[in-house]
Amino acid sequence: MSGTGSETTGMGAAGATLAPGGRGGAWRERGRLVVMTLGPILGALVLSGLLLLVLGVDPLAYYGYVVERGLLSPYGVQATFTRMGPLLLIAAGLIVAFRAGIWNLGGDGQFLLSAVVVAALAPLLAPLMPVWLVLLAALLVGALVGAAWSLLPALLKAYQGVNEIITTLMMTFLGVSFANVLVKLFFRDPTTTVPQTRTLPVADRLPRLFDTTVSSGVLIGLVAIIAVHVVMTRTAFGLKLRIVGANPRAAVHAGLNVPLLTVLTFALSAGLAGLAGAVEILGVQGNVRADWNPAYSLTVIPLVFLARFNGFASIAFVFLFSVLSIGGESAARRTGVPNFFTLVVVAILLVMLGVTEYLDQRRRAAGR
């Protein structure tokens, strides 16, 4: 009995030792993720602040204007939520691609070309159809144009193994140039002197929310990114895409049709980018002017990486970037900083993200 009691005591002690250790390991992992997520953001803000000091600008004043305009001002908050709509759709498309191991860097071309086509089509349909049908048709056309523009990189990747980073970037440059040609020549509004498409009347655009200026495009973006998160984490189709992204050879041995899944991934990712272009036109711009290119896609990439391809975390980071983007426009005017300084902050954030990932990999390698 004493032996049994002794063994029981030993097992209890071992359990008491292992349990905290297990919890400690989980907490350490969570702490690592927090550092990996917040570290690049804080680093980017500090380095951007130092750059502002070099330019002779008070960084605290600049960031104060950003928060005041993008978060505390009623008009600024509404503009922030409106800005989120297309960004969330682009983020959803990037999550689909990145989780499947595909680098779709052609989002800007897919976005802009879809925006131009929608901007040209919607004003022509508005006098002929009910508003809701015009909006539905325009959103569908935008998604289809974006998906179609990814077809060539998709086929080259799926059946020839061509690097999609090169092909999607090339298609972006081609798409941006082609969009400008369409605006200046084929889709140009003959009643204006400035090269632009016809303007969709405000009454025919996406409805506003709750008597505010917030476009309902933000709801489309929220639904899309939550749906993508659920599909990628809770469905068999999402599991197949993740398997392809993790190990294509293992996916082939598992009997998955990798070329077909690759093409579908491109179509979904680019279709969401095209839908973002349609939402931007139908909810905000109403037309497209020559040489207009907000370059949203490349800006959203570091946000998706910071979110670890998590849809809900991406919503938070897109919101923070929208605050920075809207508030940065006002802060730039008040402090005399160039308006594109927000892009400088994003570029520094991307560099900090890469440095953080590198240091984390070295730490993991040293711990093995």
N- to C-terminal Cα separation, the chain: 43
Q: How confident is the model at residue 1 (pLDDT cuts 50, 70, 90)?
A: very low
pLDDT at 212 over 80: yes
The predicted pLDDT at position 18 comes to: 41
Average pLDDT over residues 1-19: 41
Higher-pLDDT residue of 26 and 326 is 326
Q: Identify the DSSP state of 206.
A: P
Average pLDDT over residues 14-43: 68
3-state SS assignment for residue 233? helix
pLDDT in tens, 162-182: 999 999 999 999 999 999 999
pLDDT at 31 over 90: no
Percent of the chain topping pLDDT 70: 93
| pTM across the whole model | 0.87
Measured distance CA(71)–CA(255) in Å, rounded: 50
In the chain, what are the domains?
Answer: 85-341 (1.10.3470)
Would you say 275 and 219 are in contact if contact means Cβ atoms under 8 Å apart?
no
CB-facing half-sphere around the CA of 222: CA atoms within 13 A: 10
Q: How confident is the model at residue 221 (pLDDT cuts 50, 70, 90)?
A: very high
Q: What is the C-alpha radius of gyration for the chain, rounded to an integer number of angstroms?
A: 24
Higher-pLDDT residue of 364 and 215 is 215
Q: How confident is the model at residue 28 (pLDDT cuts 50, 70, 90)?
A: confident
3-state SS assignment for residue 103? coil
Measured distance CA(243)–CA(101) in Å, rounded: 9
pLDDT in tens, 117-167: 999 999 999 999 999 999 999 999 999 999 999 999 999 999 999 999 999
Higher-pLDDT residue of 30 and 74 is 74
The residue type of 339 is: N
The predicted pLDDT at position 107 comes to: 95
pLDDT in tens, 97-121: 999 999 999 999 999 999 999 999 9
Angle at 184 between CA 183 and CA 185, to 5 degrees: 95
